[in-house]
Structure 1
Amino acid sequence: MRIGPRFSSPTVDFLLAFLRGRVERARSGELDRGASAVEWVIISAVVVAIVGVVAAIINTALKGGAEKVGDCIAGAKASGTC
């Protein structure tokens, strides 16, 4: 039971209701979604890094093969093969 006059204002009532809702959400564990989102961002960054490394390796291998083919074409003779 409250003692004394109660101060009532729509703004204060809204702020109290808002704060009660935030406290209830924090206690319920609903805010774990943020941690899950951070985990997904980290996993995505690792996958992107792996794809980048694999792409660089493939690019290097293809460049080496292309240079060998180019050298073979440049030094090709009608009577021989590379």
Structure 2
Amino acid sequence: MTERNFRTGIPAVDFLVTFLQGRVQRARSGELDRGASAVEWVIISAVVVAIVGVVAAIINRALESGAENVEDCIEGATASGTC
């Protein structure tokens, strides 16, 4: 890409033009795809966290049910019988 030396004599405007030319050049080169990759990793991480949360809730519910069964068995136990 050919770069044009655009000068207005106003330092702030010259800086802005140079900055924007650099941004456009980076966008055209595909260098900004790194941000898309980061977004993909965030989405993947969120899905994994959600799956782990669901599995943890299922295991927790199963353990609570088992604990209630054991508690009922202990309360109803007699010296001569078992659950």
Q: TM-score range by the shorter chain?
A: 0.7 to 0.9
| Alignment-derived partner of residue 51 in structure 1 | 52
The alignment of Structure 1 onto Structure 2 pairs a total of residues equal to 77
Q: How does 1:32-71 map to 2 (within 5 A)?
A: 32-71=33-72
Identity %: 81
| Alignment-derived partner of residue 30 in structure 2 | 29
After the TM superposition, list the runs of 4 or more consecutive aligned residues in structure 1 that deviate by more than 6 angstroms.
none
Unmatched 5+ stretches in structure 2: 1-6
CA distance, structure 2, for counterparts of residue 69 and residue 7 of structure 1: 83
Q: How large is the Cα RMSD of the aligned pairs?
A: 1.2
| TM-score, reference length from structure 1 | 0.86
CA distance, structure 2, for counterparts of residue 77 and residue 11 of structure 1: 89
| TM-score, reference length from structure 2 | 0.85
CA distance, structure 2, for counterparts of residue 57 and residue 75 of structure 1: 27
The Cα shift of 1:78 comes to 1.3
Q: Is the 8 A contact 2:8 2:14 kept in 1?
A: no
Unmatched 5+ stretches in structure 1: 1-5
